[in-house]
Structures are given as C-alpha cells and as structure tokens.
Structure 1
Amino acid sequence: MSRVVIVGGGAAGLELASLLGRSVNGQDEIILVEGETHHYWKPRFHEIAAGTFDNDLDTLCYFSHGAKNGYRHFQARMTDIKREDKQIIVYKPNGETDTLSYDYLVIAIGAISNDFATKGALDHCLFLDTPEQARDSWQQISALLRSGEKRTINIVGAGATGLELAAELAKVSGKLSQNPHAARLTINLIEASDRVLPNSPIEMSKQAHKKLEQYQVNVMLNTRIASVDQQGMTTSDGQTLNADIQFWAAGIKAPNWLKNIGGLESNQANQLMVQQTLATTLDPNIFSLGDCASIPQGDGTMVPPKAQAANRAAVHLAKNLTGLMQGKELTPFIYKDGGMVVAIGHDFAISTMMNDRLILKGRLVRRLYDTIFRLHQKTVSGLFTMSRLIIAKRLKCIFQPSS
C-alpha cells in the first residue's frame, strides 16, 4: 500500500484527492493536508468579500466529503519537508507541530498576490488569497456599507480578481442605493498597465473597461502605487488616493515559505520547478501543480495560472499517480488553453475562445462562467451531486424572499 499526501485543498488539490480517492478503492491511502475545514473555489473569493457568495450550496466540508470519496482530511498546514525521511512537518490548529510520512507528496497550495515589496501594502491592504482573508474582507466591507455617507475603496490590480471584485462591489452598492442608511461607494480600480485585463486580448480589455464604466467604477490606468498607509495610497507621481478600505490584487507568486523548501528547486516567483510530468526536478517522489508550480510545455512555454489549467493538471496527475503505483511510466502533461472567462457582476461576463480569435459577452457568457464552477463540482463530487446542487440553487433563487 502506498500513501499519497496532497498538500493544499484548493481546486487542484481537492480535485486530485477526490479522483485518486475514488480510483484506488482503499488499496492505497490518500491524505489531504489543508488548514481550512471547508473548501471554497478561489475564483469566487471576490463574491465572499462582497457578501454575495452562497455559503449553503457552494462550499464543501473536507471531512465529510473525504469520507464519501476515499481520502482523509488532515487539518493542518505544511511548514517544511524532510525529504531524506519522506516526511512533512505540519502545524495543527491546536498550535502543535507534527510529522506526516508519505510515499508520494503532491504540493498544490496555489499562489498569493505579489505586493512587489510596495511600502505599506502588507500592513494596510486586504488580500483575497485565502478563504479567511475573503471572509475578513466581508466583515470590513459590511461595516463600511452600514456606516452611511460617502466611502471609498481602492483596488490595486485590474486583472481578473481586481476587476471582478470592483464589479461585484459596484453591483452591491447599486442595490443598496435606495437605502438611506447605506454608504455610497466610490470604487477606484488602479492598474499600472495601459488597460484592464492586461494579459488578455485588447478587444476583451475594451469591452471589460466599458462595462466597468457603466457600473461607475473609476478605472485608473498607467498608475503605479509607490506606498500605502492607513489613510490611502500614494502613486509614483505623488498623487494621493485616500480610501476607507484598500485591496491589493496585483500579480501572483507562490508563498515565500515555499521557496527552495526541502532543497527543491524554485523560481523567482517561489514556484516549484517541475518536469512536464509534474514531478519536481530534484525529487521523483514529489509533485506539484496549480499556481504554485512552474510547469513547462514541449514548445518552451509555461502553463498559465488559470483554474482550468489546475483542473486539467489534477486530472492528468490522478491518472499518472494511479499508473505509477501500478508500476507504469509517467506521461507528460500537455495543456491546451480553452480561453478565458471573466465575470463582471452576476449578469454579465466576457470570454475568449478559439485561441483568442472570438470574444463573447453578455448574460449567456455569465452562465458559462457558472458552468466552469459546476464542472469543478462534478470533478470533486460526481454528476449526481452536481445536478442536485444546480436544482437546489435554482429553487432557492425562485423561492427565497427578494431583498
């Protein structure tokens, strides 16, 4: 019997644990190491922060889910790797440290925002890198919305996370506009590049910018933040942007503690270097996938940090590990980009397809965004459970009292 330890219960880690747990049928031991008790899909963290997330139907309890899908949830956070002993060191919720042995180790802890060492950003900005941060953000935003008068929110970074957060907050503010006791929000979306969604096709950026303006989001392009303090932000040209709440959603990197952990090779963004098989370059028994891994392709490109890439890597590694435990050779992970979908509020989204040659937008595309989440649910819980959740969601929307 082999023991596979998966560190990180995000999209990639949970999908891998679910697929492996169902495939090994108890012949091997699958352990998911994750400090949280419940799973939240990271592309929807902005909804948690804005108070529009459905906690009843769109979360998943690791403990009960693991019991049904053949893996065990070990609530802890990895702090180090003892490669010579094939053990990881973990920090448990009760404050104790412990060790956990493995035959195969998979690291799938995702990535965090990159503050680029901007003075004051860590101390005075909110981040959306973990469920806990997203929940804490909602607590602050909820209090702000109830405070009345004019309030300002600064959001640094007009990539998918920053853009979706700005749009979601604008929609929430708009719904509360008839409440005389609710705050009236000014939302500044600040981007160092010359367009929103700087890594997407230009036409997609234009359409997203246009929609943000319709939501009355103040988009500030070619604006670099030099420092952050408790009152606001200072740009590189000396402009002051005061705000009541400040978010940082610019750039990504793996957590600092992951850099060269256990003597493994990593890059400047702290990502673990892996081969195309997803095995780390220095240890054939340790694998990594998702945003914390630097995954090469045969043509010299790297796999982009996208939810769909994490999903496909998890499916591939599940097959690879199952085969490896049966004495088979590893096969390379080949990624084909299926495009990009960005939600701008609950009734509008923009997507790219056909290698960015086709740009789609509108309410139907927003349903496509929801479908990506449902495919994630299908992977981790199966078609029957996913279908039940869809039906329950629709019934809830029909019968719940209007706000």
Structure 2
Amino acid sequence: MSRIVIVGGGAAGLELSTLLGKTVRKEDEIILVEPETHHFWKPRLHEIAAGTFDSDLDTVCYFTHGARHGYQHYQAAMTDVDRENKMLSVRRPDGTEAAIKYDYLIIAIGAVSNDFNTTGAKDHCLFLDSASQARQAWHQVSQILRASEDRSVNIVGAGATGVELAAELARVSQKLQRYNGAPLHINLIEAANRVLPNSPEKMSEKVLKELERNNVNVLLDTRIREVTDKGMLTVDNRELDADVQFWAAGVKAPDWLNGIGGLSYNRMNQIQVNANLTTTIDDSIFALGDCASIPQADGSFVPPKAQAANRAAVHLAKSLGGMLRGKPLTDFEFKDSGMVVAVGHHFAVGSFAPGSKMEGKMVLQGRLIRRLYDTIFRLHQRTVTGMFTVSRLMIAKRLKAVFKPNGI
C-alpha cells in the first residue's frame, strides 16, 4: 500500500485526486491537502470579484466530493517537507501544526500574481489568486457599485485575468445603471503595447475593440511606479486615481514555496521537474501546474495555463497509476490548442489550431465562442463530477436564469 499526498485543490490537484481514485490500486490511499473547504475554478475568480459567479451551482465541496471519489480531504496548508523521513508539515485552520506521512508527494499549489516589488502594490491592491481574495474584492466592489456618484477602478495587467475582470465589471456597471446606479470608470493598464500580449495580434485587436465598445479605458505602454491608497503613479508621472485597485499582472509561484524541502527552484519560485513530472532532486515528489517548471523536448517549458494543468493532471493520473503496478513513468508532452478569453457575459474571443505556436492561429469571436468558453469549464466539471452531474447543473442553471433573470 502507498499513501499519495496531493497538495493543492485547484484545477490540477482536484482533477488528479479524482482521477487517481480510478487508476491506482484499491489498497492505495489518496489525501488532498487544501486549506479551503470548496473548490473554485481559478479562471472564473474574476466573476466572484464582480458578483456574477453562481456559488450554489459552480463550486465543489472537497469533503463530500472526496467521499464519493476515493480521496480524503485534509484541511490545512503546507508549511514544509522533510524529504528524509517523507513527512509533510502543515498548518490547520486553527493555527495548530501537524505532520502527514507520505510515500509519494504531489505539489500542485498553482501560481499567484507577480507585483514585481512595485511600491505599495501589496498594501493597496486586490489580487485574484484565491477564492477568498476574490470574495474580499467583491465586498469592496459591491460598495462602490451602489454609490450615488461616479467611481473608478484601476486594473494592472491586460492578460486574460485583467481583460475578463474589466469586461465583467463593465457589464455589471451597465446593468446597474438601468436602476439609476452611478457609472463605473475602469482603467485597464498594460506595460506592453497591446492587450493579451502573449496571444496572436489579431486576437489582441478584437479584444481591444470590444473593451473600448464597453467603455473600458485601456492604457497601453504604461508602467506603474507606485501604488497609494488614492491611486497609481506611472513611471512618466501620470496620476490614476481610483477607489478600488486590482493587480493582475505577471505570474509566479508563491514566495513561501521557494526553498521548501531543499528542492530546486527557478527565479519564478517554480519547482524544477523532469519531463515525467518528478522533481529533479527527489523522484518520490512530483509537481505540476503553474508551480512547476516542466521541460519539453524542444527545450521550451510548459506555459502557466489552465489547459496545461488539466492535461498534466490527466497524464500523471495514468502514469503514476501505471508506476504503482510496475510500469515506468512516462513523459508529459503539452500541445497548446489555443486560448479563449471572455469579454463580458455574452462575448468571447478565441484562437484555435493544432501546434504549439500561437502565431497563425485562426481567431474567432462572438456569442458562439462565449459558449465554447463555458464548455471548457463544463469539461473541467465533467472530469471532476461526471457527465450526469454536469447535465443536472446545466439544467438547474437554465431554470435559475428563468426564475431570477435580473440577478447580477
């Protein structure tokens, strides 16, 4: 019997926990270490911050889900790893410390935004790296949406998170204006010369047009020097006042991860692993998702994307299950199939084509692509809960929309 301990209940960790229950031996034990009680799909945290996320239908309770799918949820956060004795140190929600014995440890804690040590960013900006942060953001956003006079929001970073947050806030503001709400002025700030700088240029152009159509003020080639409680100061000394400020630029693994267990890390705090997802220092410890630096055969590294984390989870579930039955681990190879970005509740832009390079991909837009964006989330739900449950959730969501059409 082997005890497999998974740290992190995000998209990769939850899918891996679910799938391992089907691929490992009956006598093997699976433990998911996660400080939260419920799973939220990270690409939709911007909807929580904007107050449009359906918490009743689109979350997963780790405790009940684990009971159904063959793993145990241990509510705690990782603090250290003793590789010699194969012990994981954790901190429970009440602050007490504990240790969990493991035979195989899998780290899948995801990534956080990178503020690049910008003065004042940590103190005066909201981040969307967890559900609790997103709920805190909605608490502040809801107050300014109900104000009697105009309010402003600054969002740093025009990657997928920043674009989707700006568009969702614009939609909510427009909806509330029908009920005499005050307009919300949104500044989307990007250091690069276009939004979605890692996507095809054609996609950036379409997204920019849609953002401007929704009255989002997009500031390109703009770097932030300092953040205060009143707003932001750019490197060329422009002042951008705001009532609420978000930081959604840059990606790195959490600072506290760097150095844990004496593993090897890169400058983005990511754990360095081999192509088969074992760490370069210890082959009984695995890492995947945004917290891992995963090499590819062509010398590149797997990008920090939700689809990459999902596919790595599916791969490792099969590979580790095979290893426990005497087969060798297999290498993970990621092929980028494109990206879809939601720009508001009824519009999305996507790029699609086989291959690993973004240039030259077909770019589509509109309501149909927005439905595809929702389908990607449903595919994640299908992996976690099964097709029957997903079908029930979709029916319930339709009925809820009929009987509560004016909800935000």
Matched residue SS, 2:73? strand
Aligned to 1:216: 215
Aligned to 1:321: 320
Aligned to 1:359: 363
Look up the equivalent residue of 1:95 and give its one-letter code: G
Aligned to 2:157: 157
Whether contact under 8 Å (2:156, 2:248) holds in the other structure is yes
Cα distance in 2 for partners of 1:316, 1:210 equals 38
Look up the equivalent residue of 1:392 and give its one-letter code: A
Matched residue SS, 1:84? coil
Structure 1 residue 148: deviation in Å? 1.7
Whether contact under 8 Å (1:121, 1:227) holds in the other structure is yes
Look up the equivalent residue of 1:398 and give its one-letter code: V
Whether contact under 8 Å (1:274, 1:281) holds in the other structure is yes
* Structure 1, 354-363 or 251-260: larger mean CA deviation: 354-363
Matched residue SS, 1:85? coil
Q: Deviations over 1:366-403 (max 9, x none)?
A: 00000100010011111211122122222222232434
Cα distance in 2 for partners of 1:307, 1:268 equals 21
Structure 2 residue 395 is the aligned partner of structure 1 residue 391: yes
Of the three residues 367, 374, 377, the one matched with 2:378 is: 374
Whether contact under 8 Å (2:196, 2:204) holds in the other structure is yes
Q: Deviations over 1:183-240 (max 9, x none)?
A: 3210000000000000000000000000000000000000000000101100001111
Structure 2 residue 3 is the aligned partner of structure 1 residue 3: yes
Structure 2 residue 241 is the aligned partner of structure 1 residue 237: no
Whether contact under 8 Å (2:24, 2:320) holds in the other structure is no
* Structure 1, 320-329 or 70-79: larger mean CA deviation: 320-329
Cα distance in 2 for partners of 1:258, 1:204 equals 34
Structure 1 residue 25: deviation in Å? 6.2
Cα distance in 2 for partners of 1:300, 1:387 equals 41
Structure 1 residue 144: deviation in Å? 1.1
Aligned to 1:107: 107
Cα distance in 2 for partners of 1:189, 1:8 equals 30
Q: Deviations over 1:42-81 (max 9, x none)?
A: 0000000000000110001000000000000000000110
Look up the equivalent residue of 1:379 and give its one-letter code: T
Structure 1 residue 21: deviation in Å? 1.8
Cα distance in 2 for partners of 1:86, 1:292 equals 20
Q: Which runs of 5+ in 2 are unaligned?
A: none
Structure 1 residue 301: deviation in Å? 1.0
Q: Deviations over 1:92-146 (max 9, x none)?
A: 0111000001000000000000000000000000000010000000001011111
Cα distance in 1 for partners of 2:63, 2:24 equals 18
Cα distance in 2 for partners of 1:190, 1:379 equals 36
- The number of aligned residues is 402
Whether contact under 8 Å (1:25, 1:70) holds in the other structure is no
Structure 2 residue 19 is the aligned partner of structure 1 residue 15: no
Whether contact under 8 Å (1:191, 1:221) holds in the other structure is yes
Cα distance in 2 for partners of 1:85, 1:183 equals 59
Whether contact under 8 Å (2:253, 2:270) holds in the other structure is yes
Matched residue SS, 2:276? coil
Structure 2 residue 343 is the aligned partner of structure 1 residue 337: no
Describe how 1:287-306 pairs up with structure 2 within 5 A. 287-306=286-305
Matched residue SS, 2:67? helix
Structure 2 residue 194 is the aligned partner of structure 1 residue 169: no
Look up the equivalent residue of 1:292 and give its one-letter code: C
Look up the equivalent residue of 1:216 and give its one-letter code: N
Matched residue SS, 1:109? coil
Cα distance in 2 for partners of 1:33, 1:64 equals 15
Matched residue SS, 1:31? strand
Structure 1 residue 327: deviation in Å? 1.6
Q: Which runs of 5+ in 1 are unaligned?
A: none
Whether contact under 8 Å (1:26, 1:70) holds in the other structure is no
Matched residue SS, 1:176? helix
Aligned to 1:207: 206
Aligned to 2:87: 87
Matched residue SS, 2:350? strand
Look up the equivalent residue of 1:329 and give its one-letter code: P
Look up the equivalent residue of 2:232 and give its one-letter code: M
Identity, in percent, stands at 64
TM-score by length of 2: 0.97
